[in-house]
Structure 1
Amino acid sequence: MQRFGLSRRPLMATFAALCAVGISFAPISSQQLRAQDQTQPAPAAQGAVASTDPVLVLTIASLNKLMQDVNYISGVMGQPQAGGMFTMMAGSFTQGLDTSRPIGVLVPMVDGSPEPIGVLPTDDVELMLKRLEGQTGPADKLDDGTFVVAAGPALVYIRQVGPWAVIARNRELIDLVPADPTSLMTGLGDNYDIGVRLSIQEVPLGLREMLVDQLSQGFEQAMARQNGDADQMAELSKAQLEQLNVLIREADKLMFGININPNKRVMTIDTEFTAAAGTSLAEMYAGQLPIPSKFTAVLKGDPAIRYHAAASVSPKLVESSSASIDMVMASVQKALDDQEQIGEDVKAEIEEMLGGLLDLVTKTMAEGKYDVGVIGLAGDNMLKLAGGMFVHDGDEVAAWVKKLDTKLSQIPDAPKFNFDQSTYNGVTMHSVVIDIPARAEESRRLLGEKAVLTLGTAPQAVYFSFGQGSEVAMKALIDSADADAGDLAARPLGQMRVKLLPLLRLAQSMKPNDAVAAVIDALAVGADSDYVSLVANVVENGQSSNIEIGEGVLKAIGAAVREAQNAQMRQMQRGGGQF
């Protein structure tokens, strides 16, 4: 594409227009069409010049893939009629399209404003328009081969560009599309059912600065309306505004994609964010790399809950995190000051404890890394949690908990703290015991008469376990602390997985429910796919994430919907009502 000049149009309209891709397909009468001069382009398009890359690229997968994926997911969720309806409608409105190639929408900046351009896969645009004449009305053909179709109060221009039909609100915009528009869809297309890529740096700096100015003005006006002393709130808002300012100026690309994969029996949601090279934002991401971990034992087996993250942290991110922690403390202080019913002595104690905890977090971040692992086991009347994390100083954590015990000891029925009970493999063990009242039968069945939280403190680590028999899992973490022999090149920055079936069985054992029972029955077959996972990876100057939803979860959602419909029907029948 060609480079283009800027004009300063209203900024909010500019960004709002990014979402207005489909407005040009509304119907218009043939009388309105012929009342306009079809041989002249729209005035705004004359001399239009576009950026080298679109600000926004949106792709929709090929019709073949969409129909396959929609039929799969509607069948899995117990609504096959929805897939059939989609197939029927798609066939009616996509006549003349190549069903093996994706559809695209490109949004370049033209004269300072976004201009949506549609790209449809077809080798014969004239035949396509003829077949769609019943929905769009007749098309007129101009001297250069461009077709004009009614679109609400305006006109839409369509031209054959290689094996594609390019659609825009004027003829000059069509010239901005390269001969092979798929070069602008790299990484999207049929990789996702719906994919979006936003290139923030393609929005002219002047427009981004205007947005920052408007946000600053809004902040100043909001502060002017504050009653009383608003100094703390002003400082907090200024810090947040500065972070947003950096994001608007230095962010590069944001990608989002949703894909249904019948072969793997999953639905995935991918995101990727990158900062512009050489910026302070890029510097934050530059130091993130997987590191050896003391908590990789949580990655073994097939638990109900698993979370693990271990990576280095750049000095720039440490600095930013410290500033965020200061903002949190300022926000809490402001909230406490507004609570007149809380005594000043209590406020002081809350600030003291929170300040001590945040100080520990700041010192740990300053070490330039994070390392944490959590595992959870669940089933009928059973819940066990265990985990551990790297800290700056385990003894400081123990001292903080001892101070908390002193503060809480004055409260009736406070938990009982037991310190320095024993040591295991160099880790000092403590416990917090909570009496469970007899009236809480479900909790007693799950945790016993006393719920015990076990804490372990080491020189630079803290461990915990909760639930009957959970100490075994915690000790396994301690025993394997120096046994990490994993492939760091293949390990993500962080990962989490939650399995649905064991958690539902736990819930059902605590309090039986017909809807939960129906979901459990739906998951009983193919229970290996009843999970949701999240994986975060490092990319150049940024980070990517992948959410994977197993087929079992989709079945569970469908079963829950059907059970809700059945319950509504039963209620209507009992009440003698009608739908």
Structure 2
Amino acid sequence: MNYSWIFVGRRLLAAVVGVLAVTGMACGQNKPIAVVSLASVDGLLNDVSYVAKAAGYGDFATQISQQATMMTNGIDRSRPLGLALLTDGDQFIPLGLVPVKDLAAVLRGLEMQLGKPQPMDDGILELQGPRPIYLKENNGWCFVGQTPGSLRKLPENPAGLLEGLNETFDIGIRVHVQNIPQAYRDIAINQIKVGIEDQLENLPEDDADAAVLQREMLKNQVRQWETLLSETDQLTFGINIDQAAGGAFLDTIFTAVTGTGTARKLAMMQDSRTNFSGFSVDGAAITMNLSGRIADDDIEQAKTTLAGLKKQAAKQIENDADLPDEASKQAAIKLIDGFFAVIEETLATGKMDGAGSAIINGTDLTLVYGTHVASGDKLEASLKELVELAKKDPNFPGIKFNAAQHNGLRFHAMQIPIPEEEEARKLFGDKLNVAIGVGEDQVCVGIGNDCVKYLRTCIDGCTKQKRTDPFHTNVCLSQVLRLAASIGEEESLDSIAKVLENCGGKDNVVISAKPVSDGAMYRIEIQEGVIEAIGNAAGQRAAVQ
């Protein structure tokens, strides 16, 4: 048995107790600012063991379990524990919550760091750490505070302090933004403004247009922070190991104050629908979709940014020595104006809708993407202007307009030679095939071998107004690493890819966003095979070192 681990564990427990470092009043009159929850010691150890074994470190899991038994003597390992940071509107009041079966045993384990407890009135015990710490046991729960007053009136339902986080997450953290005293929120905003003002003083003096654009973007940052602190209700962060599902979940939940502009924006995530579901190809190495509505003030802010970017682009064109004459420069500026006009008109629809995939077939890579636009005809006209301008370059490979048609979309195709020394040849061959499909209010792009065939299949697979997550991305790591291993020289990638291929399909990383009441939940899912692959990679790295 490694007793140094036990010593470190006890020091850690003492340190956790010692973070309660500000004065306070009775918790019954206070509001929570932040809550930290641990589901239970046994639950956490069980999940740590699962993750360690999945990663190939089963012996480590056994060692941790044995040491935890020594470190948690006297604690009820089946119940949740946590920490709440409360406020009376003026000061911060931390309150710890530990389930105990034998408080005396817990205190004996802390004697080396904090000494013997000194009894006070009302059942309160005092420990002399770097600052005094006070404990009180009540119905199998040990409350930890920084003043005796914080323990005078304890909640009837101690576990209620954790707000149910322990029922959802192994480790959960929740911040009640509106309960943070206004004075502290004002301090935060002032600090942000100071940082922004420092950046404003260092804007480029030789480019007035760039300085104006950056100044407006920095001012927008301040406004966004002010809105965030005034309209955010709760921020919740949680980690959960789901052994039945075979993976780990990292959740961030953001909710706004009901009735605010932020709440109305988040409500726009409800009932997300897409016209491009077919572009999220089943079995692809990577899929993604983004769908939703855009708030009016966000549209106006984006238009302001686009106007600045367009002005900068025009200035760069005027100074571009590679453009042979004034006529070419004016044609390029007209082209930029056309593309920006399509973007602005698309923004004005208040709609975003798109999906795409990366498809791997052996060592071939094909990319497909489809998206909503306000006017496919205007985009196509700008594309033709671009081609006319590009024809002045003797190396321009040309483009075949109207190479094919499908379901109301016109396909324009081109082949771009890939130099022999380029790594891209391993993925696409000696020529990069590109196809652009244009319809009335949509555009799609395909890159790679058989891209037109894939685009047709994607278009046929689309269902009008299909329900979808506002955002969803899936990465199949076994396919990605297998491709990387086939074109590279890293032997370690091959072994990691084999681990992923033998994990029963649990080889994905999934990132998604879903609406909740007055807010949204953002989730990262790491499946069991990925955990195993991470352990494999760590083992290889350790072996090399």
Task: Establish whether TM, by shorter chain, passes 0.5.
Answer: yes
SS of 1:96's partner is coil
- Of 413-422 and 192-201, more deviation after overlay is shown by 413-422
Shift of 1:22: 8.2
1:193 aligns with 2:170: yes
User: Partners of 1:140 and 1:509 in 2: how far apart?
Assistant: 68
- Aligned equivalent of 1:74: 52
1:290 aligns with 2:278: no
- Aligned equivalent of 2:9: none
Q: Alpha-carbon deviations, 1:408-435, whole Å to 9, x = none?
A: 4444534533323232121011123210
CA 1:177–1:303 in 2, change beyond 3 Å: closer, same or farther?
Answer: farther
- Aligned equivalent of 1:160: 137
Shift of 1:350: 7.5
User: Partners of 2:48 and 2:332 in 1: how far apart?
Assistant: 53
- Aligned equivalent of 2:450: 469
- Aligned equivalent of 1:183: 160
Q: In the alignment, residue 565 of structure 1 is paired with which amino acid?
A: A
1:55 aligns with 2:33: yes
Shift of 1:299: 4.9
Shift of 1:379: 4.1
SS of 1:144's partner is helix
Shift of 1:548: 0.9
Residues 55 and 203 of structure 1 are in contact (CA less than 8 Å); yes or no, is this contact kept in structure 2? yes
- Which residues in structure 2 correspond to 1:93-492 (within 5 Å)? 93-110=71-88, 112-152=90-130, 154-175=131-152, 177-224=154-201, 228=205, 230-299=211-280, 301-311=282-292, 313=293, 317-327=295-305, 330=308, 356-411=338-393, 413-414=395-396, 416-440=398-422, 442-482=423-463, 488=467, 491-492=468-469
Residues 27 and 86 of structure 2 are in contact (CA less than 8 Å); yes or no, is this contact kept in structure 1? no
Shift of 1:191: 2.4
User: Partners of 1:274 and 1:369 in 2: how far apart?
Assistant: 22
Q: In the alignment, residue 246 of structure 1 is paired with which amino acid?
A: T
User: Partners of 1:499 and 1:336 in 2: how far apart?
Assistant: 41
User: Partners of 1:220 and 1:309 in 2: how far apart?
Assistant: 34
Please, which runs of 5 or more residues in structure 2 have no aligned partner?
1-12
Q: In the alignment, residue 33 of structure 2 is paired with which amino acid?
A: V
SS of 1:108's partner is strand
Q: Alpha-carbon deviations, 1:242-299, whole Å to 9, x = none?
A: 1221112111111111111222210111111111112111121222223443222245
Shift of 1:66: 0.9
- Aligned equivalent of 1:561: 538
- Aligned equivalent of 1:509: 486
User: Partners of 1:480 and 1:237 in 2: how far apart?
Assistant: 43
Query: TM-score, normalised to structure 1's length?
Result: 0.82
CA 1:332–1:255 in 2, change beyond 3 Å: closer, same or farther?
Answer: farther
Shift of 1:536: 1.1
Shift of 1:336: 9.1
- Aligned equivalent of 1:493: 470
Shift of 1:101: 1.2
User: Partners of 2:121 and 2:284 in 1: how far apart?
Assistant: 68
User: Partners of 2:358 and 2:198 in 1: how far apart?
Assistant: 48
User: Partners of 1:467 and 1:401 in 2: how far apart?
Assistant: 20
User: Partners of 1:404 and 1:200 in 2: how far apart?
Assistant: 50
User: Partners of 2:184 and 2:18 in 1: how far apart?
Assistant: 30
Residues 270 and 515 of structure 2 are in contact (CA less than 8 Å); yes or no, is this contact kept in structure 1? yes
- Aligned equivalent of 1:33: none
Percent same amino acid among aligned pairs? 26
User: Partners of 2:202 and 2:429 in 1: how far apart?
Assistant: 54
Q: Alpha-carbon deviations, 1:379-403, whole Å to 9, x = none?
A: 4212122221111111122123223
Residues 118 and 127 of structure 2 are in contact (CA less than 8 Å); yes or no, is this contact kept in structure 1? yes
Question: Pairwise CA RMSD of aligned residues?
Answer: 3.2
Residues 233 and 334 of structure 1 are in contact (CA less than 8 Å); yes or no, is this contact kept in structure 2? no
- Which residues in structure 2 correspond to 1:513-552 (within 5 Å)? 513-552=490-529
- Of 286-295 and 67-76, more deviation after overlay is shown by 286-295
- Of 166-175 and 270-279, more deviation after overlay is shown by 166-175
- Of 207-216 and 161-170, more deviation after overlay is shown by 207-216
User: Partners of 2:274 and 2:407 in 1: how far apart?
Assistant: 18
Residues 294 and 371 of structure 1 are in contact (CA less than 8 Å); yes or no, is this contact kept in structure 2? yes
Q: Alpha-carbon deviations, 1:491-519, whole Å to 9, x = none?
A: 42222111011111211221242111110
SS of 2:420's partner is coil
SS of 1:54's partner is strand
- Of 68-77 and 168-177, more deviation after overlay is shown by 168-177
User: Partners of 1:474 and 1:454 in 2: how far apart?
Assistant: 9
User: Partners of 2:316 and 2:359 in 1: how far apart?
Assistant: 42
User: Partners of 2:417 and 2:260 in 1: how far apart?
Assistant: 54
- Of 411-420 and 456-465, more deviation after overlay is shown by 411-420
SS of 1:97's partner is coil
- Of 357-366 and 344-353, more deviation after overlay is shown by 344-353
Shift of 1:448: 2.2
Shift of 1:323: 0.4
- Aligned equivalent of 1:4: none
User: Partners of 2:473 and 2:503 in 1: how far apart?
Assistant: 21
CA 1:352–1:156 in 2, change beyond 3 Å: closer, same or farther?
Answer: farther
Residues 125 and 159 of structure 1 are in contact (CA less than 8 Å); yes or no, is this contact kept in structure 2? no
Shift of 1:55: 0.8
CA 1:352–1:98 in 2, change beyond 3 Å: closer, same or farther?
Answer: farther
User: Partners of 1:340 and 1:88 in 2: how far apart?
Assistant: 71
Q: In the alignment, residue 216 of structure 1 is paired with which amino acid?
A: K
Residues 236 and 330 of structure 1 are in contact (CA less than 8 Å); yes or no, is this contact kept in structure 2? no
Shift of 1:538: 0.9
Residues 386 and 471 of structure 1 are in contact (CA less than 8 Å); yes or no, is this contact kept in structure 2? no
Q: Alpha-carbon deviations, 1:314-364, whole Å to 9, x = none?
A: 5xx242144035236536866997999856979988876555444423322
- Aligned equivalent of 2:6: none
User: Partners of 1:349 and 1:562 in 2: how far apart?
Assistant: 57
- Number of residue-to-residue matches in the alignment: 526
Residues 434 and 451 of structure 2 are in contact (CA less than 8 Å); yes or no, is this contact kept in structure 1? no
User: Partners of 2:22 and 2:536 in 1: how far apart?
Assistant: 55
Residues 279 and 370 of structure 2 are in contact (CA less than 8 Å); yes or no, is this contact kept in structure 1? no
Shift of 1:163: 2.6
User: Partners of 2:228 and 2:332 in 1: how far apart?
Assistant: 33
Q: In the alignment, residue 186 of structure 1 is paired with which amino acid?
A: E
CA 1:275–1:134 in 2, change beyond 3 Å: closer, same or farther?
Answer: same
Residues 139 and 148 of structure 1 are in contact (CA less than 8 Å); yes or no, is this contact kept in structure 2? yes
CA 1:44–1:425 in 2, change beyond 3 Å: closer, same or farther?
Answer: closer
SS of 2:522's partner is strand
